[in-house]
Chain A
Amino acid sequence: DVKVTQSSRYLVKRTGEKVFLECVQDMDHENMFWYRQDPGLGLRLIYFSYDVKMKEKGDIPEGYSVSREKKERFSLILESASTNQTSMYLCASSSPGGGYGYTFGSGTRLTVV
């Protein structure tokens, strides 16, 4: 089974801090994604990458950046955390076939105070 591992289940950070969320997958998938989930808003795409060092903006990239230096690792960076970035963050990976769907990590619940 594909495993997608997110480094932290729960994080509490202060406003203005730089925050790194790490995601690692073990099935050699080309595609990796970062979503956030908020009540009533569903899953919204922040950034995605379909190859090493490649990245594309999703629907809500403002206030975020990403890094993909190795195929298995995709990091989400909050440059200066704000309270409106308090959310559940979900990482996912998929094979290049696209239609085979994603495998998600367990999520990181980030609280910015």
Chain B
Amino acid sequence: DQQVKQNSPSLSVQEGRISILNCDYTNSMFDYFLWYKKYPAEGPTFLISISSIKDKNEDGRFTVFLNKSAKHLSLHIVPSQPGDSAVYFCAASGRGGGSNYKLTFGKGTLLTVNP
């Protein structure tokens, strides 16, 4: 079963507007959440993360919000730029050692920012 879900395969926004990418999870043992960005023919790169003890983390144009009760997180990009066009993966990990360090990824959302 899919423990991390990104229900929107794609999203298209105008340059300068807000992009909101959503992610839901089912495993209550997840306590750290990350967003990765991937361009074609490249490996994913880390974008921003949030711990379960917080509900918001901000880094420049990127903000991640976490709603633990709803098991939902979102990535806001404001303002969106054409260079933000990429696939965005949501990921989650549990606490503890060994295999709990592995990340579980969603299927990704393709963001297209139109000039």
Contacts and interface: CB of A to CB of B under 8 A. Distances in A.
Contact of A4 (B34, B43, B99): B43
A107 B43 contact: yes
B102 A45 contact: yes
Interface size range on A against B: 20 to 34
Interface of B: 6, 9, 31-32, 34, 36, 41-46, 49, 51, 89, 91, 93, 95, 97-108
Contacts, number: 72
Contacts of A103: 46
Contacts of B43: 4, 90, 92, 104-107
B100 A107 contact: no
A42 B107 contact: yes
Contacts of B6: 42
A43 interface: yes
Given A97-B101, A102-B44, 7 more contacts: A42-B6, A56-B99, A58-B102, A98-B93, A99-B49, A103-B46, A104-B43
B99 A42 contact: no
A31 interface: yes
Contacts of A4: 43
